[in-house]
Structure 1
């Protein structure tokens, strides 16, 4: 997709307004891929003035509520992409069709997802920090649990070894311990 400078767009629109050439001839003259692009610039110029062509809204982020309002308006009124874009001052009407496809495919959640790549700054954002903290805590808890299980296993193996070496004395020793514990509970 070719990006045109703001000044270039404004010059093409002014040339159209002079009345010498139509959409198609202007597109051919300036090497613009499609006459609809010229028509879109003229429509925005007529609706919002020069400021519409000079604004750079490529990086504008729209809230989910706004996107839903736009899609609802389009559905209720049967407006075209261009009419809807003009009504909501969206300078790129094709973004509305992207929202519509995303909503149809994935619902509201699809409209919430940010587009494009995540930041390459290397610094984790707040959400990532919370997830890392949870992972550290859960990993720490996991290691403590594993440590406790290993202690129990070692204790069990020691008792097993003692029993195998001398079963009678082991049983006698533990019988005494068992009886002394049961007397405490029965008092």
Structure 2
């Protein structure tokens, strides 16, 4: 669903009020998906003025009782969704349709459920921070481990080269170390 700015909505409302084109023709002319949007804009403008055309930056939360009152009013009076929205000062009639659908499918409990993803708790935020810190530490640990493995590899290659150049001297040199280590451990 496209979002239209207030100037555009106001221009459409004024064009409708001039009486040259109806809702459907205006929707076609300005490439608006549904003429019902124009109906909502006109009625909101007539009831609330320019404030009826402005988009609310914050999402307002309505109580379950309020939602039930709206649905009850609509059923009792036979008003349309748009008329009911205007009566209760709501500028988004499809919201009432969503409430009605939820109520019919799942009952009043479904009207309690907040829309969207729940806010992140402080505990979850702290956990995310720790995970990032752990990832940094583990990265440092990985680098240290890689350094150690490279040192061991270099030492091994040096010993291998020394052995290949003069195996007898190498074995003699290391034999002495081996025997001295054995004597120390057996004492």
TM over 0.5: yes
Deviation at 1:124, TM superposition (A): 4.3
Q: Is 1:68 aligned to 2:39, yes or no?
A: no
> 3-state SS of the aligned residue for 2:83?
helix
Match of 2:95 in 1: 95
Q: Which residue of 2 is the match for residue 49 of structure 1?
A: 49
What stretches of structure 2 of length at least 5 have no aligned partner? 125-187
Match of 1:18 in 2: 18
Q: TM (normalized to structure 2)?
A: 0.60
Tell me the C-alpha RMSD between the 2 structures. 2.0
Q: Distance in 2 between the 1:23 and 1:101 partners?
A: 26
Matched with 1:77 is 77
Bigger Cα displacement from structure 2, 40-49 vs 12-21: 12-21
Deviation at 1:58, TM superposition (A): 6.7
Gap runs ≥5 in structure 1: 126-187
Q: Deviations over 1:74-132 (max 9, x none)?
A: 1111111111111101111111111111112222211001011123x45249xxxxxxx
Alignment partner of 1:20: what SS?
Answer: coil
Residues 124 and 90 of structure 1: CA distance in aligned 2, closer, same or farther (over 3 Å): farther
Q: Is the 8 A contact 1:85 1:92 kept in 2?
A: yes
Shift in CA distance, 58/74, structure 1 to aligned 2, threshold 3 Å: farther
Give the whole-Å Cα distance in 2 for the aligned partners of 1:6 and 1:26: 16
Task: Name which of structure 1's ranges 9-18 and 109-118 shifts more when overlaid on structure 2.
Answer: 9-18
Looking at structure 1, the residues matched to 19 and 6 of structure 2 have their Cα atoms a distance apart, in angstroms, of 21
Residue 18 (structure 1) shift: 2.6
Partner of 2:38: 38
When the two structures are superposed, what TM-score results if normalisation uses the length of structure 1?
Answer: 0.60
| Matched-pair contact (CA < 8 Å) for 1:57–1:91 | no
